[in-house]
Amino acid sequence: MSLGRLIITGVSSGIGKALAEAALKAGYEVLGIGRRSCEAIESHGRGQFFQVDLTDAKAVETIPLTPADLGPTILINNAGTIGPIFSTTEVEHEQLAHCMHLNVVAPMRMTARFLQEVEGEKQVYFTGSGAANYPIEGWAAYCASKAAVHQYTEVVAKEHPDVRIHAFRPGKVDTPMQTVIRESSSTAFVDKAHFVEAYEQGELVQPKFVAEKLLEVFVSKTEIPVIFSISNI
């Protein structure tokens, strides 16, 4: 019997890719979901990929979430975007809507389907962010989207006390998203120097570290807050 099945959104890079790699190595089945796959999934017998743009609401309904006869099933709503980095008065509606759809609406729908359709032992995780609680000028869409994700997690966890449902703050992680942040030219992003400095000082967390901590959480019996920080694990 397999260790269980992980359904991970956003496996082509960063945290999702590192988690897919670590989970396959640990003995899980992995279903990766997103626009692009990764080598680890494509080359592994326990890896599977379903191609979908998560901002396409109709396509999200076609994602196969079952069978659940491979042990416990764990959904990790990870795909996300930093969204438009502009002052709130400059942000275009379409960019805002895209960010909200990918970061909030898609994981909400994935979670609802998962809770309805997947039987047996299950867990749900969301890649949250410190930006949910810490306002960053120029990041209105992202901060608002992650605050929504945290609060959604709290509500679903309350509604389903029998399922482990959490959002995690990964810290500043060395992924392509941080490159986008450092390369932003927006004058509205007044904290940019702080992100560049964190990178140059080697303070970014590696995606592999986040993945390994998550694998510990999946099998841990210890109670943790609904919203937790990877640095506290």
Directed axis angle between helix 14-26 and helix 207-219, to 10°?
50
CA dist., res. 27 & res. 185, Å (int): 43
Nearer to ligand NAP, 98 or 121 (CB): 98
Q: What whole-number distance in Å separates Cα of residue 45 and Cα of residue 165?
A: 28
Binding site for ligand NAP (CB under 6 A): 10-16, 34-36, 53-55, 78-81, 102, 127, 129, 170, 172-173, 175-178
Q: Minimum Å distance from CB 102 to ligand NAP?
A: 5
Q: Tell me how far, at minimum, the Cβ of 107 lies from ligand NAP, in Å.
A: 9
Q: Least separation, in Å, of the C-beta of 124 and ligand NAP?
A: 14
Element spanning 117, H or E: helix 106-117
H or E stretch at 228? strand 227-229
Beta strand spans in 35-176 (E): 47-51, 73-77, 122-127, 164-169
The catalytic position among 28, 125, 142, 152 is 142
142 is catalytic: yes
Angle between the N-to-C axes of helices 192-200 and 176-183, in degrees from 0 to 180, rounded to the nearest 10: 130
- Least distance CB 119 / ligand NAP (angstroms): 26
73 vs 81, beta carbon nearer ligand NAP = 81
Position closest to ligand NAP via CB: 14
Pick between residue 10 and residue 72 the one whose CB is nearest to ligand NAP: 10
Strand partners, 169: 229
d(CA 232, CA 106): 28
Which residues belong to the active site? 142
